[in-house]
Amino acid sequence: MPLERAEEARAELLEFAAHGFEERDLPGRLELAVYGDSEVERTLKAAFDDVSSERVEPGWEDQWRAFHRPVEIGKLWVGPPWEEPAEGLVPVVIDPGGAFGTGAHPTTRLCLELLQEAEPASLLDVGCGSGVLAIAAGKLGFSSVVALDNDPEAIEATLTNAEANGVALDVRLFDALTETVPAADVVVCNVSLQALEDLAPRLRCKTLVASGFLAADGLRLNGYRIVSRHEQGDWAAVVARPERGGE
């Protein structure tokens, strides 16, 4: 794809490949590679104009591990279980499995930075993925941490990672767009732009930390006023508060 569409394509591809993808720079273009079966191939061909496929050697299911490296975000060290945590930092050990959220993506990093600036209180993570944000919140002193996702694979990954980190979470398979969303002092959402805009009116909180969208996107949070905006590369995050107070 043309380089000018790179960030837009990355954002779109995450909807189909939450476990991640590989990138290769070509002259004037960028190639994004996804491992998957024939069903994944059909889905991508229906969504993107220029898609080709080729067979790979057995073991492709685990090749994504080579691309996950630890990151340091403020007082946090976030990395996979096959890496050694850095001394002096709070370790958040994340094996993403098939769920998005390792700490390396700019939107996850932005949320982790902003959580460290928030006053620890009750927290709700909507669209928890691998559980990285909820687990980090638990280690940062937030209480009554609830993690929601509508993907059973994400729930399994969050429960496994929470146990590995010794963090107690209330993890629920949950559709936040149709069910009554629990109230919390702080809500963190690292989801797509459309999902975030649909979720905002359903949330009950004093502070909303939101990301998952491009800096160029026109974000509209019905019922909230944005108090700060933060960017990393082509991605953005905001801190927002209810226009008429929180619950």
CA angle 204, 114, 189 (to 5 degrees): 40
Q: What is the pLDDT of residues 141-184, one digit of tens each?
A: 999 999 999 999 899 999 999 999 999 999 999 999 999 999 99
What pLDDT digit, counting tens, does each position of 203-223 carry? 999 999 999 999 999 999 999
88-111: per-residue pLDDT in tens? 999 999 986 655 667 888 999 999
Mean confidence (pLDDT) of the chain: 87
- 23-39 tens-digit pLDDT: 666 667 778 777 767 77
Q: Which residue has the higher pLDDT, 24 or 229?
A: 229
Looking at 80-127, list the stretches that DSSP marks H as alpha helix, in order from N- to C-terminal side: 106-117
Q: What is the pTM of this model?
A: 0.77
Rounded distance, CA 95 to CA 55, Å? 26
Ordered domains of the chain (ranges, CATH): 3-63 (no CATH), 68-242 (3.40.50.150)
Predicted pLDDT of residue 8: 73
